[in-house]
Amino acid sequence: MWKAALVLGGSLLVAIAAQITVPFFPVPMTLQMLAVLVVGAALGFRLGSLALLAYVAEGLMGLPVFSKGGAGLAHLFGPSGGYITGFVLAAAVAGWVADRGWSQRLLTLIPGLALASIVLYIPGLLQLKVLSGADWGQVWAWGAGPFLLGDSVKIVLAALIVTGGWSALRARKR
Ligand SMILES: O=C(O)CCCC[C@@H]1SC[C@@H]2NC(=O)N[C@@H]21
């Protein structure tokens, strides 16, 4: 029961983060990546992946959980939809990293979350490339360049939130 609550709670966190946007074209700046990394690293591979699969299922059922209240197959296969596929993969990688005990220390979690973020970008950029037919320079300028600095901050923030959360839990148990 509590596992279902964690999965649904994780998907809700990503849905809320999707509504905090800065309108870049054709891919918006959002807080989803921060939420995805926190959910994956906090819940681990199995529950983290399930939370993001639940998120995608909610969007496909018509709930306005994607960026700017988006939903449905058209959004998933639209210009920013590849990143949504990437979110599932990134949560899985962040969870895999956590399952190895690397979410206890910033020194191991930050590189792990950076790897998850690279994995997130692969389907995002590939889908943008296929849909737009633009050259890779343009795809990079639309889909990666404007976000690299902000997303680096999100990686560090996510690592601070997760390691801080575990420290607080350990302190309470003592
Ligand atoms: O439409 C959606 O719901 C997905 C939006 C994806 C936005 C991507 S995630 C990686 C990069 N960082 C951002 O802040 N925006 C893009």
- The protein residue whose alpha carbon is closest to atom 4 in ligand 1 is 80
pLDDT at 79: 98
Distance 164 CA to ligand 1 centre (A): 25
Indicate if the alpha-carbon torsion angle 126, 128, 133, 136 is positive or negative: negative
Q: Which atom of ligand 1 is the closest one to the Cα of 86?
A: 9
Distance 107 CA to ligand 1 centre (A): 26
Q: State the DSSP code for 1.
A: -
Q: What is the ipTM of this complex?
A: 0.99
Report domain extents, the chain. 2-173
pLDDT at 7: 98
Q: Which atom of ligand 1 is the closest one to the Cα of 59?
A: 3
Say whether pTM exceeds 0.90.
yes
CATH number (3.30.300.160, 3.40.50.1950, 1.10.1760.20, 3.40.1170.60) of 2-173 reads 1.10.1760.20
Distance 22 CA to ligand 1 centre (A): 10
pLDDT at 132: 98
Mean pLDDT by 10 residues, the chain (174 residues): 97 98 97 98 98 98 98 98 98 98 96 98 98 98 98 98 95 83
pLDDT at 172: 87
Which long-range contacts (C-beta less than 8 Å, at least 24 apart) are formed by 70-78? 70/18, 77/127, 77/131, 78/131
pLDDT at 118: 98
pLDDT at 33: 98
Distance 168 CA to ligand 1 centre (A): 30
